[in-house]
């Protein structure tokens, strides 16, 4: 376990403290850790759903081109991101 310091809005601190007082979390740290785990799991599930959706019904080239224009990116970059979401984040963490 590692100790860190974070700043939170007062309302979030009060919410976490209320959860501890009600016995729904053993500590504010545990409540924050559970929230972070929940968010990470939700992101993982969303990416898996998007990958499966893209596998079953690939994004049309016209939509990729439209996204590329709006984002100011090459179509190949947008297509790669659609086909392999989360890949850059994994590469950055490995560095």
**What is the distance between the alpha carbons of residues 83 and 36, in angstroms, rounded to a whole number?**
26
Helix (H), strand (E) at residue 4: none
The pLDDT tens digits for 51-87 are 888 889 999 999 999 999 999 999 999 888 888 776 6
Predicted pLDDT at 23 = 98
The pLDDT tens digits for 8-52 are 999 999 999 999 999 999 999 999 999 999 999 999 998 888 888
**75, two tokens:** 């179509």
């Amino acid at each position: 376990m590692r100790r860190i310091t974070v700043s939170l809005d007062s309302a979030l601190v009060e919410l976490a403290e209320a959860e501890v007082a009600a016995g729904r979390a053993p500590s504010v740290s545990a409540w924050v850790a559970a929230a972070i785990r929940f968010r990470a799991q939700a992101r993982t599930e969303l990416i898996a759903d998007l990958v499966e959706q893209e596998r079953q019904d690939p994004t049309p080239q016209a939509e990729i081109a439209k996204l590329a224009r709006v984002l100011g990116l090459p179509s190949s970059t947008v297509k790669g991101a659609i086909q392999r979401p989360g890949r850059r984040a994994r590469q950055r963490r490995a560095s």
